[in-house]
Structure 1
Amino acid sequence: MHLLLLSLGDGALTRFVAERVSKPASDVRIGVVAGAGRELLHDRGYTTVDDFSFDDVDAVYVGGGNTFRILGDLRRSGMDLELAARVRAGLPYIGLSAGSVIVGPDIEPAALLDDPAEAPELGSTAGLGLIDQVVIPHAGGMLPAYPSSLIAQTLRTYGPRFPLLPVDDDQAVEVHDSTLRLIRSP
């Protein structure tokens, strides 16, 4: 498994893709599942594909937005199970913000950061289960929507029940098989 879980900074993206896809950037096709932030892929010369077959892309990207809505959309389409299976089989995964949260065991800890009411049909907050921790993006508290007081409240509220992994906006989590490393990604 190869995952790059970004909070906001995308400095680690080019190296991650280059090490996993042996093609020039202009030939790399990245399937965009959901969320905001696709411009960071275009800025590096990658081709983004919205309506795709997993067999026709070199990597998959799930961007930012409301964590509950994104997971709800994946479940409703049935893509959640195939996405998890393909990533486990080696398809590189790039997550940004909410896209980083959904790969964990549960998204409930995002409830103070995003409004669960945006996905009323989401019966379970179980994530994709690709990693054992719940990424808490924007943990440095630098974005106005996610002040340090809100991050601290999230850690206090959910830390006793979930293995939380706070990630600042200039950091990312790189996953290779079952090994996680917190890296710089300004």
Structure 2
Amino acid sequence: MKMLLLSRFVGAVPKFLGAASAGSRAALRIAYVDDASQPLGDAPFVGRERAQLQDLGYTLVPVTIGDGTAADLSAILDSADAVYVAGGLADHLMAVLRRTGADSVLVERIRAGLPYIGASAGAMIMGTSIDPAIALDGHTDGVSLGDLSGLGLADVVILPHADGQLPPYPPATITEVARRLEGTPGLTLLADDDGLLVEDNHLSRVASPAT
């Protein structure tokens, strides 16, 4: 199992995927899952996040899990070299994964060795709980998610954007959320240029600067 859990920036991705040159990157197909951003429409960060990977030279295969089935996702992952789950609203993302059964597909593929990259919401869902997402954003309109458990492939509870540099989450907000979650087992604060590398049961911090 190999995962890279990011807050915002993707500078750690080339080393994680082992593709140093632009030419070798273009040969890698990344399934780019955008469900977390669907309720946000054309919010500026959505295009910027996708552009980060495109600027690095990767071939992205757009995926909206909620428009299909678990079998559709499985078929796409058959020809993917990695999967990237983008940021947005974590409770909406978890609701889609559970409704379609794609949660089981992701867990199975990651455990079988498919490299996983998640940013913000995409990182939070791999932990044991998405409580920080609710503390930061509240509940998504129309989403009734009684169980805030994540997929549990990493024994952490991730609070992203912890340096307070992203405008929706200023330092005062991050400080208050961290205070409210104090004592949560596995609580891990990630700055925007920070990441967690998960290799089997080993977790380590890595730098992931803007590109």
TM-score norm. by structure 2 comes to: 0.81
**Residue range with higher mean Cα deviation, 110-119 or 65-74:** 110-119
1:152 CA drift (Å): 1.5
Moved over 4 A (4+): none
Instruction: Spell out the pairing of 1:81-100 with structure 2 (5 A cutoff).
Output: 81-100=104-123
Counterpart-to-counterpart distance in 2, 1:129 and 1:32:
21
1:119 CA drift (Å): 5.2
Judge conservation of contact 1:59–1:93 (CA < 8 Å) in 2.
yes
Identity among equivalent positions (%) equals 42
Q: Determine if the alignment matches structure 1 residue 41 to structure 2 residue 64.
A: no
Instruction: Spell out the pairing of 1:136-147 with structure 2 (5 A cutoff).
Output: 136-147=159-170
Judge conservation of contact 2:84–2:116 (CA < 8 Å) in 1.
yes
1:123-149, Cα deviation, whole Å (9 max, x unpaired): 311101110101111001112211112
1:33–1:124 distance in 2 versus 1, CA, 3 Å:
same
1:121 CA drift (Å): 3.1
1:29-72, Cα deviation, whole Å (9 max, x unpaired): 11122244222221122111135522110100101111111111
Of the three residues 79, 103, 120, the one matched with 2:143 is: 120
**Which residue is equivalent to 1:150?**
173
Judge conservation of contact 2:89–2:133 (CA < 8 Å) in 1.
no
Q: Determine if the alignment matches structure 1 residue 132 to structure 2 residue 144.
A: no
TM-score norm. by structure 1 comes to: 0.91
Counterpart-to-counterpart distance in 2, 1:28 and 1:119:
36
What residue ranges of structure 1 are gaps of 5+ in the alignment? none
1:71–1:160 distance in 2 versus 1, CA, 3 Å:
same
User: C-alpha root-mean-square deviation of aligned residues, in Å?
Assistant: 1.7
What residue ranges of structure 2 are gaps of 5+ in the alignment? 38-45, 64-72
How many residues are treated as equivalent by the alignment? 183
1:77 CA drift (Å): 1.8
1:168–1:50 distance in 2 versus 1, CA, 3 Å:
same
1:119–1:91 distance in 2 versus 1, CA, 3 Å:
farther
